[in-house]
Amino acid sequence: MSSTRVEHDSMGELNVPSDALYAAQTQRAVENFPISGQPMPEPFIRALILVKAAAAAANIELDQINPVIGDAIIHVAHNLLAKPDLMHHFPVDIYQTGSGTSTNMNANEVIATLASLQAGCEVNPNDHVNAGQSSNDVIPTAIHVSAALEISNHLLPALEHLSQVIKMKASQVDHYVKTGRTHLMDAMPIRMSQSMSAWATQIDQNIDQISFLASGLTKLAQGGTAVGTGINAHPKFPEHFTTALSKETGLTFKPADNFFAAISSQDTAVAVSGQLKTLAVSILKIANDLRWMNSGPLAGLGEIELEALQPGSSIMPGKVNPVIPEAAAMVSAQVIGNDTTITIAG
């Protein structure tokens, strides 16, 4: 048996792995972009699949696709989201065509393959799964949806937990007084709880700012199709789409105020990234405070003792390092670097 099968697209024939759910356009992208070996982030792919499900629901309501086909698209989208090996079906490198068309077509092809089996008839990647859509609006929409979901479901709860834990610890050490410092030199005495109140306030301020900026992520480009004109989409598609997506996710999405702006720029994502950079600066500052106060213990400040989590040296017995603040500092550096990349991309 051959390990490949022949698929067709507008450019002709192409050999595709016989067990792949995707088709020719995905395979072309796999061959064109063997750059990093890093696929698109899983939260982005999950958001993209949700977009396809919501689009199918909107198109059913607006009589744009056969309900049997539309229901099959929705069914397989939900099944895909439940698969532990989801990313196996989305191999396109993150460094690819600037529009993200390769990833959009990857999703269209995978869903069409599975939906054809589900519906018992041909489901076309372009005419059905991508009905009323373009990579021009799908990819900006998936950026917003994935970021909104990650912030709402993961980042903000984690930050709220961090703030609460800092405040709880501050109350436990309120009776301890330490040396306050400016320029790393001794200054006025300060309660340990007062130092920690600064950390908690930094986190709370980041929560407020991230929440405010993230609200802009709920305004979506979907419905603008090619360059914002809305061509080939039903006039009521944007409203039906955002209603369906809101039901799928539990967040309240709505169409962008101006599709031309939503498609031709990523200012909202850049702004959110800027606030994530600010959060990274706050985390880095707190991590460095902890490292200074924990330094020593004999020849450093030795004001606090962080929990010993693992041996700190392969040659010096008994040495223990502040590994959690160090790891947090590394993550902060990555987020700060990401913001530069996102700024240039925007």
The pTM assigned to this predicted structure is: 0.96
pLDDT in tens, 115-132: 999 999 999 999 999 999
Confidence band of 2 (pLDDT split at 50, 70, 90): low
Using DSSP bridges, classify how beta strands 185-191 and 4-9 pair: parallel, antiparallel or unpaired.
unpaired
Q: Which residue has the tokens 């301020």?
A: 205
Residues ≥6 apart with Cβ < 8 Å to 214: 147, 148, 151, 152, 272
Q: Are 170 and 192 in contact (CB under 8 A)?
A: yes
Decide if 313 is catalytic: yes
Helices 135-150 and 42-61, packing angle to 10 deg: 120
Q: What is the residue-averaged pLDDT of the chain? A: 97
Cβ–Cβ under 8 Å, residues 290 and 306: yes
Q: Is 183 designated active site?
A: yes
Question: Tokens 């917003």 correspond to what residue?
Answer: 144
Extract the tokens encoding 83.
């698969």
| Tokens, residue 328 | 């947090």
> Is residue 27 within 8 Å of residue 20, measured between CB atoms?
yes
Among 183, 240, 282, 295, the active-site one is 183
How large is the angle between the packed helices 135-150 and 237-249, nearest 10 degrees? 30
Bridge-based pairing of strands 185-191 and 177-182 is antiparallel
Query: In the structure, what pLDDT confidence band is assigned to residue 243 with cuts at 50, 70 and 90?
Result: very high
pLDDT tens for each residue of 27-83? 999 999 999 999 999 999 999 999 999 999 999 999 999 999 999 999 999 999 999
CA angle in degrees (0–180, nearest 5) for 70-45-259: 75
| H/E element, 165 | helix 156-172
Domains of the chain, first to last = 20-133 (1.10.275.10), 140-345 (1.20.200.10)
Which listed residue (8, 18, 215, 313) is catalytic?
313
Give a three-class secondary structure readout of 212-227. Answer: HHHHHHHEECCCCCHH
Confidence of residue 110 (pLDDT cuts 50, 70, 90): very high
**Per-residue pLDDT reduced to its tens digit, 194-226:** 999 999 999 999 999 999 999 999 999 999 999
